[in-house]
Structure 1
């Protein structure tokens, strides 16, 4: 099974970063993005994609080089505070709470309202069940812990026998983590 890909454009938008800055970090890391010719919605432009693992690596480098990145950004634009400090929320979305109450998506977001808006394109009935303060670097560990015993339907989409048990696991996981104020 090949690792999921995300376009550099989407990755930049989701994390409040400028594409130029992301491409500089990708080049510095020696990552060779996969390229694909876009369809009519992209006017035939070439689109660059990186893997989830590469995306996490880029975020780690950006997180450890905040001051260098700030100098690289335009003086008039600033990165959202959540991106600077890698703090946001870990969310649990009910994808179809009325029709399939045990199917859910988990993940990290700097802005939960914007993330929910993006998910509503493919899951119009999605509902935020609960969020927890989270560092971006905790996301993958949290997902592995709280979804143990669930059926994985897609990258971050699962089905549980009880959504309440998943929420309980999330509560316990984040109780163990350092407080983020």
Structure 2
């Protein structure tokens, strides 16, 4: 995937955000193509395997470029720029299953669904490799981040939200939605 950073380093945050949106759409179309190839049984096995290998390698590369671009964009964000938030939807079943349902990057009211691996890796930095006490760890992490952004944003907590829903039937599970200013990613770097 080729990314044009513009004529100068002075491209606006909105332009960068739109570039990020195009990158996310391209990644999503590659993921959909892989699913389609998997379901199509009239494609010969060799052709299916080779096309999946080629697209998979390109997909991983595109996700890495996306994450690098996102980190660079967040690093260059300063005061007076539009607010950028990150939102993760997690599903925790019993005590051992931890999964990201959705990862979203917000710029004011605009959203971009970003690769789930970002939410998954970020979640694992919070709860660790073992999902033991994941809900408690996420709540503790959120409280610490909320206190930090409360100080930095002078009491404006509209950008920090945490919703924890517990489900008892058919089995015990938790649905967690956490939204924080996107610069939290700079404090907890991840890689794909």
Alignment TM-score > 0.5, same fold:
no
TM bucket normalised to smaller? 0.3 to 0.5
Task: Determine which structure has more spread, i.e. the larger CA radius of gyration.
Answer: 2
Give the structure with the higher percent strand.
1
Higher helix share: 2
- Higher RCO structure (Cα 8 Å, ≥6 apart): 2
TM-score (norm 1): 0.34
| Structure 2 length-normalised TM | 0.32
